[in-house]
Structure 1
Amino acid sequence: MTITQIIALAIVQGLTEFLPISSSAHLILPAQILGWQDQGLAFDVAVHVGSLIAVLLHFRKDVWDIAMAWFAQFANKQQTADSRLGWAIILGTIPAGLAGVLLDDWIEANLRSVAVIAATTIIFGLLLGFAERFAKVGQGVKNINLPHAVVIGLAQMLALVPGTSRSGITMTAALFLGYSKTAAARFSFLLSIPLIVAAGAWITKDLIGQHLSSQEWLQIGLGTVMSAIAAWVCIKLFLKWIEKIGYWPFVAYRLLLGAVLIILLLTGSVS
């Protein structure tokens, strides 16, 4: 990959990992539409590490408080809002984690196409729009109970399909369950932490034993840094603006992107 491609893909990953528009779709499309070479496993690990650094940095106090409360509950036999949130994150992670282990290879072989991305981009964009329009919201992130965490976790399984958007589907589910826009976003971001770790580890296992060139190490370093910067800016601005602008800009973007992809398919520009 060229330096321009590395920077572009890293920024795209950093931004779309947390916006409700699907990071997997935006990383697949450059190869499908622009003819860019596949970024490879090492680069995938790099941009995931960058996203992880950003979300841990932004939520460092929340993560610390949740972790301390979760471990403390076993000593003092008392539940707190933070320890319950820790359980919610654990339960919300399990469905997607299991589905990833069982279905990742099949999805990789059968669903990484422009047609699938066009369909899921539109369908789940409309679903996010319905949630924005009709859901009665108001509860905060620390009000998320365990049954709701499981529902959000089950919804997160759908994000394995390219174009769905992990953040988009979890925010949509949280909105339908009655949580505020900010609460939906914060829980989605916190829920991303164990999954990003798991995804990075899953990809890394295929790299074990491989000898990377100096050029590949440069790509890894640059990809990690650019992804981390883009993701941190994205999280900060998203949480600042979401209550004001809502999810409609992302719904509109998804519908426009889906329409463009359908036109490209119909004209034979992509397959």
Structure 2
Amino acid sequence: MADVCTQGVDTGFVALGYAKIAILGVVQGLTELLPVSSTAHMRLVPALLGWQDPGSAFSAAMQLAALAAIVSYFWSDVRSVTVGSVDAIRHGDWRSPSLLLALAIVIATVPIVIAGLLLSSTLNACGTSLRSLWVIGVACLVMALLLALAELSSRHRKDTGQMRIMDAVIVGIAQVGALIPGVSRSGSTLTAALFLGLKREEAARFSFLLGLPAIALAGLRELFVLYKAHIPAEAWSVLAVGLIVGAISSFVTIWGLMRFLERFSTWPFVIYRAGLGVVILFGVLALGWN
């Protein structure tokens, strides 16, 4: 499908209409918070159905749906970190667990903010090569391998209260990999947290909490970019449908993932990601997908 640009911004989602965007909202919501790469699915599903690529602007803005779901599901954690940090600063309790966790999240967010600003023109450009299927396919295979190694090497003993600042920095650096389509933000941070020895459900919890600032900044920035591009009113209503559907499916995804990781390993995601990467690369090399 041809690229659709509005003042240099990839706005392919506008042509899809409400029904198709609602379907993609479900896809985005289900895959944004799983370690399987939402970008891979947002490129593959439209390609298989013969639809217009919704574009990087839609994918970035849709992160706000994930933000709403994370804040809703982890509200007690979010409130504890924010209110607890303020109380700790007010009382000079510099060893407060809430303050240390908040500090870790802020410090770990710095790498992706810097990288995102430096690469923003490339990441959101119309027809950017980073959204090509071969890049996404290779990224899926690499992340499947890394997640497998993390699962094999991790002791699964630590919780977030035992994390050090340097642990958070390492996970934050891993989060930068999410700028490459196909890597997955939750996949990269979950993998890094497992390498550090966190329990699976604790690794997922920290991954979600760490993602809040980055997801909020990326989503709000993209809304501003779309506003500056003067997209029509219909485009905003189409995007709103995607956000509402995406938020609901994201919440359901978090609920299911947290319960899954309390009982099972991440091997199903390893197998799925490896299979997805093989399918994408086969399509590119043998079937001429682009």
Common topology (TM > 0.5): yes
SS at match of 1:19: coil
CA distance in 2: counterparts of 1:212 and 1:269, whole angstroms: 32
CA distance in 1, matches of 2:59, 2:190: 24
Once the two structures are superposed, what CA deviation does each residue of 1:122-174 show, in whole Å capped at 9, x if it has no partner?
11111101111221121112222100000000111111111111101111111
2:117 to 86, 101, 118: 101
Structure-2 change in CA distance of 1:238 and 1:28 (3 Å):
same
Question: Mapping of 1:101-120 within 5 angstroms?
Answer: 101-108=117-124, 109-120=128-139
2:164 partner letter: N
Query: Conserved in 2, the CA contact under 8 Å of 1:156 and 1:170?
Result: yes
Letter in 2 for 1:76: H
* 1:39 Cα offset (Å): 2.6
Deviations 1:5-42 (A, max 9, x none): 11121111111111001112222223444432233577
Structure 2 counterparts to residues 23-38 of structure 1, below 5 A: 23-38=38-53
Quote the Cα distance in structure 2 between the aligned partners of 1:269 and 1:2.
27
2:181 to 135, 159, 162: 162
Equivalent residue number for residue 250 of structure 2: 231
Provide the residue aligned with 1:74 in structure 2. Answer: 89
Contact kept, 8 Å, 2:109 with 2:210, in 1: the verdict is: yes
Say if 1:129 and 1:251, in contact at 8 Å, map to a contact too: yes
Unaligned stretches of 5+ residues in structure 1: none
1:247 aligns with: 266
Alpha carbon RMSD of aligned pairs, Å?
1.9
Amino acid aligned to 1:83: L
Identity %: 37
CA contact (8 A) 2:17 2:238 kept: no
Task: Give, in angstroms, the shift of residue 45 of structure 1.
Answer: 6.0
- Could you tell me which of 221, 225, 228 is aligned with 2:240? 221
- Post-superposition shift, 1:193? 0.9
Instruction: Note closer, same or farther for the CA distance 1:119–1:177 as it changes in structure 2 (3 Å cut).
Output: same
Q: 1:22 aligns with which of 15, 28, 37?
A: 37
Partners of 1:56 and 1:98 lie apart in 2 by: 24
Q: Distance in 1 between matches of 2:222 and 2:61?
A: 10
Structure 2 spans left out of the alignment, 5+ residues: 1-15
- Distance change (3 Å), C-alpha of 1:122 and 1:100: same
8 Å CA contact retained: 1:167, 1:188: yes
Larger deviation, residues 209-218 vs 105-114: 209-218
CA contact (8 A) 2:69 2:250 kept: yes
Shift of 1:200: 1.1
* Structure 2 partner of 1:13: 28
Equivalence for 1:57? 72
CA offset at residue 225 of structure 1? 1.3
2:100 counterpart SS class = helix
- Using the TM superposition, name which of 239-248 and 226-235 deviates more: 239-248
- Show the counterpart of 1:89: 105
Letter in 2 for 1:127: L
Structure 1 distance, partners of 2:257, 2:215, is 19
Report if aligned partners of 2:47, 2:53 keep a CA contact under 8 Å in 1: no
Correspondence for 1:177: 196
With 28-37 and 90-99 compared, the bigger mean Cα shift is at: 28-37
Look up the equivalent residue of 1:244 and give its one-letter code. Answer: R
If the length of structure 1 is used for normalisation, what is the TM-score? 0.93
C-alpha separation in 2, matches of 1:41 and 1:219: 15
Secondary structure in 2 matching 1:56: helix
Report the alpha carbon displacement of residue 43 of structure 1 after superposing the two structures with TM.
4.3
1:212 to partner: Cα distance: 4.8
Higher mean alpha-carbon deviation, 107-116 vs 135-144, is at 107-116
Structure 2 match to 1:207: 226
Task: Check conservation: 2:64, 2:220, Cα contact below 8 A.
Answer: no
Aligned pairs, how many? 271
